[in-house]
Structures are given as structure tokens and as C-alpha cells.
Amino acid sequence: MKKVEAIVKPSKVKSIQTGLREADIPCFTVIPVKGTGLQKTYAERYRGTENNLILQTRVMTICIISDENLEKCVDVILDNSDGNVGDGKIFVYNVEDAIRISTQVRGGEAIR
């Protein structure tokens, strides 16, 4: 099993969700986050005052998937990006075990 974390622009979440559903990967978690990457600060005007901001508003999506679905999941996220600086990052981790609380099923069956 793998854990795929993708930090993306908020405007891309809906298209990623649709793409994952079409790829038979319907389960994922979304968390609003703020952070900075390689891009520089940006200016935002609020009530007539210009503020230089460092932290960008992004969304982290998390999918726990089988090893077979890894490339499908990554491809969906990449296909729904613009290919520009600031689009985000994808991180892939190994997952040792998963347990469905309601039935206590473990392993790959817990994420199906």
C-alpha cells in the first residue's frame, strides 16, 4: 500500500476528485494548508494597503492506495496541473498496514 500526498492549488481539487473517481480511486482526504515552496513572495491588496505575503493557500489531498493504483493516482494529479511554478508537490510513502474500524479488516481489503 502507498500513501500519496499532493499539495495543490485549491482550484484543482474538483478536477482531481473527478479524475480519481473515474480511475476507480474514489477515497481521498482534503486538508486546507498554507506554506511556501520555491516561489517568491506575492503582494495582495487589502483595504487599500498592499501586503507582501509569504505563505500560499493550498490544499493537501491524501490517498491511501494499493501498489497497483500508484501510477494511476499520480497521473491523475499530474494531468490536472497547469505545469507552472507553484502547482505543488506530490509525495509518496509506504504504508505498513490499514485497519477498517467498523469491521476490523486489515491490509489491502481495508482500503477497497
Domains and CATH numbers, the chain: 2-111 (3.30.70.120)
The residues of the chain scoring below 70 in pLDDT are 40-44, 50-53
- Count CB neighbours of 13 within 10 A: 18
Looking at the whole model, is its pTM more than 0.95? no
Which residues lie below 8 Å from residue 88, measured CB to CB, with a gap of 6+?
Answer: 6, 7, 8, 9, 37, 58, 81
Q: At residue 1, what is the residue type?
A: M
pLDDT the model gives residue 29 = 95
Measured distance CA(18)–CA(10) in Å, rounded: 14
Measured distance CA(70)–CA(63) in Å, rounded: 10
Helical (H) or strand (E) element with 42 = strand 42-46
**88-94/56-65 β-pairing:** unpaired
Measured distance CA(105)–CA(112) in Å, rounded: 10
pLDDT the model gives residue 38 = 75
